[in-house]
Amino acid sequence: MDYNPLSPESRANPYPGYTQLRSEAPVYELEAFGVFALSRHEDILHALKHPEIYSSSGMRAMMTGQTGMMGSSGDPGRMGSVTEANSLISSDSEIHERLRAVVNRGFTPRRIAELEPRIRKIAEEAIDSVAVKGEMDLVTDLAIPVPVTVIADILGVPRERLRDFKRWSDAIIASSTGVAQDDNAEAHLAAREEFLDFFEEAISARREKPGEDLISTLVRAEKGEGTLSAGEVLSFTVLLLVAGNETTTNLIGNTLLALTDHPDQLEKVCAEPALIPNLVEEALRYDSPVQGIFRQTACETEIRGVKIPEGKLVMLLLGSANRDESWLPGAGEFDITRDLKGHIGFGFGTHFCLGASLARLEAKIALETLFSRCANLRRTTDTTEWIDSLILRGPKSLPLRFDAQ
Ligand code: HEM
């Protein structure tokens, strides 16, 4: 078979390609890039359980555009040296454990629960601004503002810098997950430099006078309670933007796409909002916001009779694993009432998503607010333009009409 994750057909709808991969070539070499793709749930789980074979250094290659599969974003500027610092998502064993122990403190269940009233207020305000019109773009009016504002709050970014923060965040994301050549390379470089200026200053201000935000928690660790270098603090703030923003936006967008494609399910959840947490899990599985992650083989290995040499990049197609019928019968159907266990939309094992509870809470509150204030939700167009990314999946925009209530 001939599989190309970058073809317009795969980008618009990757699922038929995944089905074919799982049955005909579960370990598929993308020869043009020297990258291997795994597509079965069982194999991907195996890889995630064996970091000594499948190293997370593959994530560094992904985030710095070294896979050869994504366009170059030009001069990395100072960001180049930030991504050289140890990053949680691309490190293994002891280094990963040390970094994870520090950042876990910022994401305890208590800390996340404390954010609830704030998230609710952000979602309410977002709906307030569109309610009278009876129409909105779900992506720009709700799915983007919620996670961006929450992460800005977590990092202690003042309100008046929110617009800048969003611009910086877009620039960083464009240069780490984009597919196409970056047409705005210069503007993005300038925005990334502004981001670094802002956070370098914020980090030194928190060193002088720590507060309650996450930067202060990280800086305290830098001072000796834990062991973070200044570069690692900066690298973590970048990671939060890349890992925590657009992913959650896409989850909210994909959920509404799936619901408007399945009006019976939309009706069910509007009648019974207690189903929302289940809906969120099913949406994470059915149309995963993170379709793939990368690993790099630390030694030669063999899987399903295919030899993968040492040092090769391996793409783990989470979006395919979550649709694998041999793991979950009926995986191709969208069913918000199913008893769902074991989807890997947030990954699995030591690198399991740090922000999973936050993302679940944000999506739950955004959807509760939407359903309680907007009845009879319907799409105004059947065509969907997808964001420009090899690994993230979500609609660029999603115009909806509704009856305000
Ligand atoms: C629906 C939204 C989200 C999805 C689908 C998602 C998905 C994932 C996945 C698949 C991984 C595993 C990466 C790997 O194994 O290489 C991951 C890791 C991570 N996520 Fe998320 N994520 C989401 C939201 C968030 C949020 C809101 C944050 C933070 C505010 C966040 C922060 C992180 C971090 C820091 C890691 C690295 C953890 C580690 O390496 O130990 N994510 N995420």
CA angle 87, 88, 89 (to 5 degrees): 95
- Decide: 315 in ligand 1 pocket, CB within 6 A: no
Nearest atom, ligand 1, residue 344 CA: 10
The owner of tokens 């960001």 is 79
pLDDT tens for 10-57 read: 989 999 999 999 999 999 999 988 999 999 999 999 999 999 999 999
Cβ atoms of 386 and 395 within 8 Å: the answer is: yes
Give the DSSP letter string of 171-238.
Answer: HHHHHHH--S--TTHHHHHHHHHHHHHHHHHHHHHHHHS--SSHHHHHHHIIIIIS---HHHHHHHHH
- Enumerate the domain spans of the chain: 8-404
- Decide: 59 in ligand 1 pocket, CB within 6 A: yes
With the most atoms of ligand 1 within 8 angstroms of its CB, the residue from 153, 173, 353 to mutate is: 353
Q: Say how many Å lie between the CA of residue 173 and the centre of ligand 1.
A: 14
CA angle 115, 168, 80 (to 5 degrees): 115
- Decide: 347 in ligand 1 pocket, CB within 6 A: yes
- Nearest-CA residue for atom 17 of ligand 1: 353
| 267-279: average pLDDT | 98
- Decide: 247 in ligand 1 pocket, CB within 6 A: yes
- Tell me the percentage of the chain whose pLDDT exceeds 90: 67
Q: Say how many Å lie between the CA of residue 247 and the centre of ligand 1.
A: 8
pLDDT tens for 246-258 read: 899 999 999 999 9
Residues 6 or more apart from 170 whose CB is under 8 A from it?
191
- Tell me the percentage of the chain whose pLDDT exceeds 70: 94
User: What is the separation of C-alpha 281 from the centre of its chain, rounded to a whole number of angstroms?
Assistant: 14
β-pairing verdict for 313-316 and 35-38? parallel
The helix/strand/coil state of 377 is: strand
pLDDT at 26: 98
Nearest atom, ligand 1, residue 347 CA: 10
Nearest atom, ligand 1, residue 91 CA: 40
pLDDT tens for 314-361 read: 999 999 999 999 999 999 999 999 999 999 999 999 999 999 999 999
Instruction: Give me the helices (H) in 85-184, please.
Output: 93-104, 109-114, 116-131, 138, 145-155, 162-177
- Decide: 5 in ligand 1 pocket, CB within 6 A: no
Q: What are phi and psi of 296, to 5 degrees?
A: -130, 130
For the CA atoms of 5, 316, 252, 283, the dihedral, rounded to the nearest 10 degrees, stands at 100
Q: Say how many Å lie between the CA of residue 396 and the centre of ligand 1.
A: 20
Q: What is the pTM of this model?
A: 0.95
pLDDT at 218: 87
pLDDT at 181: 57
- Decide: 253 in ligand 1 pocket, CB within 6 A: no
The CATH number of the domain covering residues in 8-404 = 1.10.630.10
Q: Which is more confidently placed, 222 or 304?
A: 304
**Percent helix, strand and coil across the chain, each rounded to 5?**
55, 10, 35
- Decide: 83 in ligand 1 pocket, CB within 6 A: no
Nearest atom, ligand 1, residue 251 CA: 1
| 191-205: average pLDDT | 91
Nearest atom, ligand 1, residue 100 CA: 41
pLDDT at 229: 81
Q: Rounded distance, CA 284 to CA 22, Å?
A: 20
Q: Is the dihedral of CA 194, 234, 317, 73 positive or negative?
A: positive
